[in-house]
Amino acid sequence: MRRIIAAAGMAALMAVIVSAQSSGVARTPWGDPDLQGTWSSEAELSVPFQRDAQYGDRRFLTEAEFAQRQKTTASQVQSDLSEFEVFTADTRNAGAVGSATSPPPHWLERGKASRRTSLIVDPPDGRLPATAQQGRGRGRGAAGGGGTFGGLGAFGATPAFNGPQDLSLWERCITRGVPAAIFPTVYNANIRIVQGPGVVAITYEMIHDTRVIPIGSTAHVGSPIRGYEGDSRGHWEGDTLVVDTTNFSDKTDYRGSRETLHLIERLRRDRDGLQYEVTVDDPHTWVKPWTAALTLDAQPDDSLFEYACHEGNNSMRNILSAARAAERK
């Protein structure tokens, strides 16, 4: 009986190997699609999160439009960047490079351009759906924790900055959050993926968060258990890793969403790189789900830069002391 079981197991393994060879998809020694490596979303930095109306339902630029984007990107790289406004694909923070609130120009990552017209791919017009009734007036920062990245709070109110809790989790060096950390910003646009039997781990260069994702049919943890990055469970659909994430904390603030956020992420490796899609669903924030996509490029150097978030960082103390000085004035 043992010999029969062993033979059956070997036959199954050989079937996986033959399938992988025929499809050209790299596999781990245990037979899963191999997503491992260091990947960068830097090229997508040139892409607006929401699509400009001039492109309609068109997902990609024409050859002429792409040539112009490449020219613009090259000129930005070559310039001294002193007057260029930092455009970030999935933050609402923009400041003139060289200003008191911006990073030094040599930190900026601005590589090859992307052909996408927007990172949002569904709805077809590349625009965020309308805000749900429950989310109106909530906005980033309206419930506290929006910080300086969140801009104005509810109804245009200026954030109070009464204490650290009024600054975002990102500014407090806790986490940039999921899925925000995979979207490119001015620097730290890399991720690293490692795999083991029954598990995938994703490390984000921004703040160096690591998500450990069980693969299989295990259920999510109970609803009382909440986390900044939620609770993730993965499974394979062909060569695509599908990650279902729920159980977010009420301190979660992804574009205004809170603990009712639900994500479905899809990661698939092909000859162009690592294809990533995330479907975002929070009925308390948007009237319907929406999907964004990225293509991440493989990096020959497997290392990630450190993220020394607190080193020499006086911003929180300065923000809070300035708020107190403004109150006294």
pLDDT (tens digit, 9 = 90+) per residue, 82-96?
443 444 455 443 344
8 occurs within a structural domain: no
For the segment 300-321, the average pLDDT, to the nearest whole number, is 84
289 occurs within a structural domain: yes
The predicted pLDDT at position 19 comes to 46
Does residue 3 carry a pLDDT above 70? no
The predicted pLDDT at position 310 comes to 80
124 occurs within a structural domain: yes
Tell me 116's DSSP state: B
For the segment 38-64, the average pLDDT, to the nearest whole number, is 94
- Return the closest-CA partner of residue 234 out of 249, 247, 224, 219: 219
5 occurs within a structural domain: no
Angstrom CA distances, 287 to 135, 182, 281, 284, stand at: 10, 24, 9, 8
Cβ neighbours of residue 202 closer than 8 Å, sequence gap 6 or more: 191, 192, 193, 210, 211, 213
27 occurs within a structural domain: no
The 3-state DSSP class for residue 71 equals helix
By the 8 A CB rule, do 256 and 138 touch?
yes
Detail the DSSP E strand segments found in the chain.
37-40, 120-122, 190-196, 199-204, 210-214, 231-237, 240-246, 262-270, 273-281, 290-298
| Model pLDDT for residues 171-215, shown as the tens digit of each residue | 888 999 999 999 998 788 999 999 999 999 999 999 889 999 999
Look over the chain and give the mean of its residue pLDDT values, rounded to a whole number: 81
Q: Among 57-66, 92-101, 234-243, name the one with the lowest average pLDDT.
A: 92-101
- Cα–Cα distance, 45 to 189 (Å, whole number): 9
How many structural domains are present in the chain? 1
The predicted pLDDT at position 97 comes to 47
Q: Among 32-36, 51-55, 76-80, 116-120, name the one with the lowest average pLDDT.
A: 76-80
Identity of the amino acid at 10: M
The predicted pLDDT at position 147 comes to 61
Q: Among 17-21, 235-239, 300-304, name the one with the lowest average pLDDT.
A: 17-21
The predicted pLDDT at position 293 comes to 97
- Cα–Cα distance, 53 to 57 (Å, whole number): 9
The predicted pLDDT at position 77 comes to 61
The predicted pLDDT at position 136 comes to 65
| Model pLDDT for residues 79-132, shown as the tens digit of each residue | 544 443 444 455 443 344 445 555 666 667 766 789 999 999 999 999 999 998
Task: Grade residue 57 by pLDDT with cuts at 50, 70 and 90.
Answer: very high
The predicted pLDDT at position 76 comes to 67
4 occurs within a structural domain: no
Cβ neighbours of residue 316 closer than 8 Å, sequence gap 6 or more: 164, 167, 171, 172
The predicted pLDDT at position 309 comes to 83
Better-predicted residue by pLDDT, 103 or 152:
103
Domain that holds residue 262: 37-328
1 occurs within a structural domain: no
Cβ neighbours of residue 118 closer than 8 Å, sequence gap 6 or more: 47, 48, 49, 50, 51, 52, 55, 59, 126, 127
The 3-state DSSP class for residue 21 equals helix
The predicted pLDDT at position 179 comes to 95
Tell me 17's DSSP state: H
| Half-sphere exposure for 280 (CA within 13 Å, toward CB) | 26
Q: Percent of the chain scored above 70 by pLDDT?
A: 75
Q: Which residues of 224-236 are buried (b: 16+ CB within 10 A; e: fewer)?
A: eebbbbbbbbbee
Burial (0-12, 13-18, 19+ Cβ within 10 Å), 248: buried
Better-predicted residue by pLDDT, 230 or 105:
230
For the segment 217-240, the average pLDDT, to the nearest whole number, is 95
Residue with tokens 């789900």: 289
CA angle 322, 318, 254 (to 5 degrees): 100
301 occurs within a structural domain: yes
The predicted pLDDT at position 138 comes to 56
